[in-house]
Structure 1
Amino acid sequence: MTAVDGKRDPATGQALGQNDRAGRRARRLDSFHPCYRRYVAELTACSSELEDLADTFPALLFALVSGYAGPGQRERCFNLVCEGAPLREAADVLGLPWWLRRLPAPAFAEPLPAFPRDEAFSFRMASLVPREQRLAPLWLQRVSYAFEAAGPEYALWLARQHDLAGPHEDALRLMAAWAWFSGRPGLLGHRLLRRPWTPETSLRRAREEVAAWRQRLRLIECLGPGIEHAWLADGSAAGFEFVALRTVEDFIAESEALENCLDQYADQLYTGLTAVFSIRRGGRSIACVEIGLHDAEASMPTIVQLRAARNRRAPPEIWQATFGWLGSQRLEPLSPLRHAPKALARIEARRELWRPYLEVLAGTRHEQPFRRLVFQTMRPPGRGRRPVGLPPPRRPARANPELAAAGGREPATLRDRA
C-alpha cells in the first residue's frame, strides 16, 4: 500500500498550493480575449501585482497590453502597480477613466478610445454599465464606436439603450453619422435630415429617421448635382405650371410641401426610366406627376401616376391640364439615360457629401468599413437591378368615372399607389 501525501495532488503529483496558483492564473488569462492572452501572460509573468489586476482592474491590465496612451505613461503605470501604489494613481498616470473598472475582463476585445475623464461624463457612464457580464462586451464595443464616431453625448445616449444587440453594425455606423451631421447645420448631410438627433430621441425613432435619411442619401446617388436637361420642357396649361424636379433639394422641398414620399423616391429614380414634375398654381405646389415610358412605344412619354397633396387623387381639372401640357411637348424619341447625370458627377457628389465625416474617422480603424458601406454600388432593396431599357411593370388600367364625365380619358398606364 502506498501512502498518500496530503500536500500533493494525487493526479499530478504537484503541491496543492502550486496547483491552485496555476489554475487561478489560467482562469485569469482565459478571461481575456484570445487575441490578447499571450500579451497578458507575458506582462504578468514577472509580477503577481500585475496578475492581480485581472481581478481588481481588468481595464488597466488590458490598457497596458493594448498600447493605450504613450510608452512613457505605460512604463510609469507599470512601475506604480509593481510597487503597490493605489490603482487610481496608476490609472490617472495612464489617463484611464475610473469607471472602466466596473467592466469584467471579457468586455475588452479591441483597443480602448480615450474616453473623457471629466466628472460628469464618468459619473453618468458608470451608472450605465450593464450588470450582466454577458452584455458587457457588446455594450463596450458599441459605446466605444459611438464615442469615436459621433462624440461623448451620443455615446452616453447609446449607452443607455437596452436593445444594442438588435441593430446591425452597418445600421449603427449610419446612425452615428446621422447623429454627427445633426449637430452641423452647414453641411449637406444635415440638410438631408428629416429630423435631427437629440439626446431625447428614442432608439425606435432614431431607426426610423436613419431609414428616411438613408433614402434621401440615395437621392444623391441617383441625381448627383442634379439633372441638367429634363425629359420634357417646363410649361403651363389651363392655369397650372409644370416644373421638373431636378435636384435632391427639389425632391425634398416638394415632399414637404405635398406631405408625400417624394424624398424616398430613390428606388424609382435609380433605373433612370422615370421623371417627376411639380404641378403648381400661383407658385404653390398642389400636385405632382410621374412621367415614364409608354408600354407600347418605349421611346414615348406617358403618365405613370398623378397625385395631389398627401397622395390623394387629383381632381379632373388637373388631369386635363396635365394632358394639355403633355400634348404641347415636342414629340421626339426619349432617351432617359442621355438626360441622367453623368456617373462621375454622381460619384463626386457622394464624395463631397461624406468628405467632412470621413475626415473625422481618418486614421481610425472605423474609416475603411465606413467607406465600404457608403461607397458600395447602390441597389434597390429587395430586388435585383432591372435591365436598362425595359420600363417598369404596370398594373392594369382602372376606370375613372369623374375623368370620363369631364371629357378626359384615363391612360392605360396609370398606377394607383396609395
Structure 2
Amino acid sequence: MMQKQEFNKQLFDFLAASPTPFHAVYEMRGRLQEAGFIELQEQDAWHVKPGGRYFIVRNESSIIAWNLAANSDLTDSGIRMVGAHTDSPCLKVKPNPETESQGCLRVGVEVYGGALLNPWFDRDLSLAGRVNYLSTDGSLRSELVNFERPIAVIPNLAIHLNRDVNQGLNVNPQTDLPPIMAQLQGDAKITLRDVLKNELLTQYVDDVAEILDYELCFYDVQKPAYIGLNNEFFASARLDNLLSCFIGMQALIESDSEQSCLLVCNDHEEVGSMSAAGAQGPMLKQLLERLQPDAESRSRMIANSMMVSVDNAHAVHPNFADKHDGNHGPRMNAGAVIKINANQRYATNSETASLFRHIARQEGVTLQSFVVRSDMGCGSTIGPITAAEIGVKTVDIGVPQLAMHSIRELAGSDDPVSLAKVLKRYYQQEQV
C-alpha cells in the first residue's frame, strides 16, 4: 500500500475529476484498466478465467470490479466483497430549466438526495454530467461534459434585506436555488441546449446536430485541500461517498489473486437505491449468477462470502457533541467506524464486526464504533439492502467525517490510507 501523502494526492485528483457519478465511474474505469482489469460488456457472452481481473459498467454510473482466484473454487472459497456508492446530494438541472428574472438567466434545479442547502449559496459553481445527442450522421450518441470553469452562482440575499437571516434561513428549493448563469443582453435568448451544443463542439466532439437530453448537476469548483495547522484534515466535495469508492478500488488493485474479491459501487444510494443500477436493483445479483450459474453452488458461494459496506460515518462535532451518544462519538484520525443499529439500518452483527476488528488488528489499525442516540433517527446504507437482496453476511463501516451532505465535507487525513490497508488484508482473507 502506498504511503499517506501519495495516497491522498491520488485521492484528491480522483475527487476533483469526479463531479458526477458518470465521471467517477469514468475515472475508476481508467485506473482499473491501467491495473490490468478487463472490461466486459453485459450484453456479450463472457469467458472469464481463474486469476483474471474484470469489471462491468452499468448506466455509466455504477461499476463492479473483481479478481478471480487463481487456485480456489468460488463455491468453497466465496468472494470477499466491498460495497460503496458513486452518487452524492446535489442540484440537478431540470429538463426545461431556463427562466428570466430581472435581465438574468436562471437555471431551474431539483434537489437530489438529502442535501444541506445553505452551503450552496455564494459558491463558484460549474456544470457537469452526461449529454445525449443526435449526431450529424443520424446516430444517437452520448458524451460526458464538464465545464470545469465557474459558470453560475446562487447569491445570498443581503442581510440588510433579511435582518432575521441569522436566526435561521428557510430555503425554498423552487424559488431560492435556481443558479444565475448569465446576464441577458437586449432581446437575446439563451437556452441550455445551445450552451451544451457549443461546449460539445468546442471541447469534445465535432458531430453534434441536436441535443436530445441530459443528466447534469451543478458543483463547486473548489479543489480538495488539506486543512489544519498540521494538515490533520482535508476538505472536498462528495467525500460521501467517493472517498469509499477510491479506498475500495485502491485496495482491490493492490490485492493479490489468492482469493476472489469484488468491489461494487452503485449509483442512486442517496435516493433509495431502487433502480437498475442501484443496490436494490439486480446488478450484483446478476453478476453472481453469471459467475456461478448453478443455483446450489451459488448459494454455497454466498454462504462462504462476506460484504463490507463502506459509507462514511458521522464524526463527533466539537461544537455539537451532544448530538452523539456519549460512548459512541467517533473522532477523525482515530480509525474507521463500525456502524451498528438495533433496527437493522446497518447490517452489522457481532460476527461480522468481530471479523473486521480482527483483520484491522492484524494491520495495527484501530477501529471505532458508532451507534446513533436512542432519541434520534438513524440513516442507512447499501449494507442492509445488499444483505437482504443477496443473502450475504455484512458489516457496515466508514471513515468518520463532518459536514456530511454539505457542498464541502471534512475528514481526517490519516483515515483513508489506514482503511485501505485493512480492506486490502480483508480482500486476501482465506475464510470469512
Query: Which structure: larger Rg?
Result: 1
Please give the TM-score of this superposition, normalised by the length of structure 1.
0.21
Higher relative contact order (CA 8 A, sep 6+): 2
**The structure with more helix, counted as a fraction of residues:** 1
Please give the TM-score of this superposition, normalised by the length of structure 2.
0.21
